[in-house]
Amino acid sequence: MAVLLALCVGTPATASGRPADDVGSRVDTYLDRLVDEQSIPGMGVALIDDEAPPVHHFRGYDGEGRAVDARTPFLIGSVAKSMTAAIVAKQVRAGSLRWSDRVGDHLPWSAAADATTEQLLTHTAGFTAADGLAVSERFDTSPGAIDRAARDLHRSGRPGGYRYSDANYLMLGALIEKVTGRPYADVLRSDLLDPLGMMHTSAASADVRDLPAGHRFWWGQPVRYDPGFDESGAPYGYIASTIDDMALYAQAQMGRAPAVLDATMLADLHQPRVRSGDDRYGFGWRVDDSDGRRVVHHTGATPGYFAHVMLRSDAKGVVILANAYSETRAPALAAVAGDLLAIVDGRQREPGRGDTMLGMLPWVLVVTAGIGFIAMVLAWRRPRHRGVRIACAVASLVVVAAVVMGPRLLGATARQLWIWAPDSAIGVVATAVSWAVLAAILVGQTRLR
């Protein structure tokens, strides 16, 4: 399913265009296996080493069938949070905001009016993941999209502990628009993108009309997905960019563009501030330590796309952009950046595996639905015993309740399940329908008898 196309540009190379050592070939071998085993249609990689030109590796095709190259647009998902944080840092520098400002001082209608700017940045403002998901993927491209989505936010918690949620950065987007009096996309352009030379990056729908389709997975196979752009999601995920531009951005975050992001700003952004599971969270970045080196990174995912930027304190970094995503592939995709840096260090790495159990879920649901349909046929003639029929009807309703309530208990609505896991969504509907009809047949036959 993945079509292999290996290119390598912009690297210290031999006359043949290959890297001077075997690092490039080992990276190629790793990526070949990854796209094959995980069925990734297309991806781009930029390896960054101090002040040398980034090393690019490309695989496959975009959603329109064109070979992936340095100018292929991808959505960067939650890597966008680091850009929003950088804009906030610039507003703090300009005096328009303070880290300690209450959100309500600028947005009195906000669901997080009692939280501070810093709490939004560190996911400690009281929003839950479900709060953010409730207003995500609106695909709203009309003026005022961010403000409308932020006004629709409801907060389930109180300021305090860390809870990762897109809602925090959506509210920051509305805050940026309020204090600047301009659309978020325009502020991003003037404060960050243009100064860094990121000419092929944007959060405005008018600028991303050439964004190719991404891919969702249906029973393990990538299927083209093109729902449109969502300007309301720009502050936390809906920014389109290219490998070339993201390499520039990564280098700026490593201190290569002090006129845009100086050392003080970077220290604020990268300082670990709250525990976030196995690592810590700064302003728009996850922060960890590995082998005595500081690692600053963030993954990003939208339906159909994956991104990861990882930067180390030894001036090495990597950018990953892929045009496919599912939660079953998440573990394997999230491991790529660290694996490639390990290969650069001279260590051996092999692509990780996806979530096997989660990958089996759509198949299990289809089988369960099939059993329900077979049982429907059999239920017309047997069992004849009334008590057995009643017991089977009750058991059928338990199955229906389990498959319908299961996603909700995990915090996912039917719409979210359809957007992020369409095969599982179809499996849930098919299973619920087949077993509900089975229960109805059993109850009806019981009454007739």
Per-residue pLDDT tens digits for 71-108: 999 999 999 999 999 999 999 999 999 999 999 999 99
Using alpha carbons, list the distances in angstroms from residue 344 to 25, 104, 207, 288, 338: 11, 47, 35, 19, 10
CA distance 442 to 96: 67
- Residue 20 banded pLDDT, cuts 50, 70, 90: very low
Q: What is the pLDDT of residue 45?
A: 98
- Is the per-residue pLDDT at 389 higher than 80? no
Q: Which residues contact 168 (CB under 8 A, 6 or more apart)?
A: 112, 119, 120, 121, 123, 125, 127, 132, 236
Identity of residue 271: Q
Which of residues 406 and 65 earns the better pLDDT score? Answer: 65
Write down the mean pLDDT value for the chain.
Answer: 90
Angle between helices 23-37 and 330-344 in degrees, nearest 10:
170
Report helix, strand or coil for 67: strand
CA distance 135 to 155: 12
Closest by CA to 311, choosing from 345, 330, 288, 292, is 288
114-128, 267-281, 290-304, 367-381: least confidently modelled range? 367-381
Q: With residue 375 as reference, give the H or E element that holds it.
A: helix 356-379
- Is the per-residue pLDDT at 145 higher than 60? yes
Q: With residue 431 as reference, give the H or E element that holds it.
A: helix 422-448
113-127, 259-273, 371-385: least confidently modelled range? 371-385
Mean pLDDT, to the nearest integer, of 242-246? 98
What percent of the chain stands above pLDDT 70?
93
pTM metric for this prediction: 0.90
Length of the chain: 449
Q: What is the pLDDT of residue 413?
A: 83
Number of H helices, E strands in the chain: 16, 13
Cα torsion angle, 164, 170, 174, 176, sign: positive
Q: What is the pLDDT of residue 384?
A: 62
Q: What is the pLDDT of residue 85?
A: 98
CA distance 318 to 298: 11
CA distance 283 to 8: 33
Q: What is the pLDDT of residue 55?
A: 95
CA distance 229 to 141: 7
Name the class of domain 7-70+214-226+237-344.
alpha beta
- Is the per-residue pLDDT at 13 higher than 60? no
